[in-house]
Structure 1
């Protein structure tokens, strides 16, 4: 006879007030399977059909390695920059009340709304050698457009909202009384920020970082205009996939897409592990 205590262990979750768990779970699994798992499985199947030798040869091509290096390095740099300025922006929007705050808050979401191609054209017009900003930087020997620096700037522009919108709600839950209590106990501003406030924001910051990084790795529209697409200099992996498809070289396109998927998965897995550790370490749950 199974005791009530043992039987309770078989329940995944306490029953919800709203019925329909089985139906909604089935719909969720079907949706994820059709939209995500089946396309990824097809990509893996196509890559497996190449054979290990051909797959390794395609992903170790010098141009492929150069494009992967540009994509992942610029996305990583942009995500780190967005973490710093995203946290500062969220802090200003949460902790200070100033004229035009709602307008600034709305501007943060603009990269979500405007087409990425529009953002790319606008950035190119600004940072090209004869552009509004580029014309001042070129005499100083600083070239932005058609370089990896231009790619980083484009990825910063489209990735900032991911950090701000992830950190902002968590920051709003931190009461000002916490800061006042830290100050009353003798903590200076530096200690209050780094030992009281930031530990509670670490999981949210890591989530924003992961979202900005993932968006940057796969970004195409806002980058191709300002990148210049110079092989071994500013050519990104998504563009190289398109080039291989236009050349009807489906094997190379599949191999590049697969290695991007594998690297992205490993990076996000590492971030999730660090995020889980930070939650246990600081005792905060999102």
Structure 2
């Protein structure tokens, strides 16, 4: 009897916990997503949705966003891995400071990052990148770097170095050791971090708002196009492009779950 009561109490607590979690998830995520999707189809249904996302400026903004985000993910895959390697395998003065600075983009308001980049590479700078696509790449690389470093770093820490030493004793050089032993072990974490960097980049706004220039067809990213549609009182078009970004992000996150 006591066992049955304990099981009943446990089941009740579990159901209450699941119900509370589902309610909170619905309030924070599901209901806003449903409202956004509904708004995207208010102006002409599926025809209006297609017309909104295939408008020339919308297509240009999506193309620029995806292209720049892929470039940013690739850059961070390389340099994020390199930084993680240095932080784990090397000792040098100021290592803890560098390790702390990696997380700065997480804590720093992204509009501040854009302001800093504008002061460094703006119109008054000797190296002017303002209102160019390289400026977009630079800004998005800055805010997404920690995703790769923090994904790869713990794997490197846990990696068994005895295997590397055994390969070296058998005559393998550093290149073979890295590509045959280290990289396969890092690959899931590397893909996960790069995927998260890509997902963050396609929706980023603050870090590019000043340095990017917001030039339609040239440097205007999807988030800026969405803001433009809101300011032009075309919320359905803004919602339609937002749904496309959400769909892309959702597919990326599903793929990352498969990688893990």
Question: Which of 140, 145, 157 is the matching residue for 2:130?
Answer: 145
Q: Which runs of 5 or more residues in structure 2 are unaligned?
A: 1-11
1: CA distance, partners of 2:167 / 2:20: 48
User: 3-state DSSP class of the match of 1:39?
Assistant: helix
| 2:14 paired with 1:29 | no
Question: Which of 91, 96, 115 is the matching residue for 2:90?
Answer: 96
User: 3-state DSSP class of the match of 2:24?
Assistant: helix
2: CA distance, partners of 1:233 / 1:150: 12
2: CA distance, partners of 1:179 / 1:96: 16
Residues 55 and 149 of structure 1, relative CA distance in 2, 3 Å threshold:
same
Question: Which of 48, 52, 67 is the matching residue for 1:54?
Answer: 48
Give the deviation of 1:243 after TM superposition: 1.3
2: CA distance, partners of 1:29 / 1:197: 40
Which residue in the other structure is 1:110 paired with?
104
Residues 21 and 165 of structure 1, relative CA distance in 2, 3 Å threshold:
farther
Q: Which runs of 5 or more residues in structure 1 are unaligned?
A: 1-18, 138-142, 277-286
Which residue in the other structure is 1:190 paired with?
175
Which residue in the other structure is 1:140 paired with?
none
Q: Report 1 or 2 for greater relative contact order, CA contacts < 8 Å, sequence distance ≥ 6.
A: 2
| 2:64 paired with 1:79 | no
Question: Which of 186, 196, 201 is the matching residue for 1:216?
Answer: 201
2: CA distance, partners of 1:172 / 1:85: 17
Which residue in the other structure is 2:143 paired with?
158
User: 3-state DSSP class of the match of 1:130?
Assistant: coil
Return the TM-score normalized by structure 1: 0.82
Which residue in the other structure is 1:280 paired with?
none
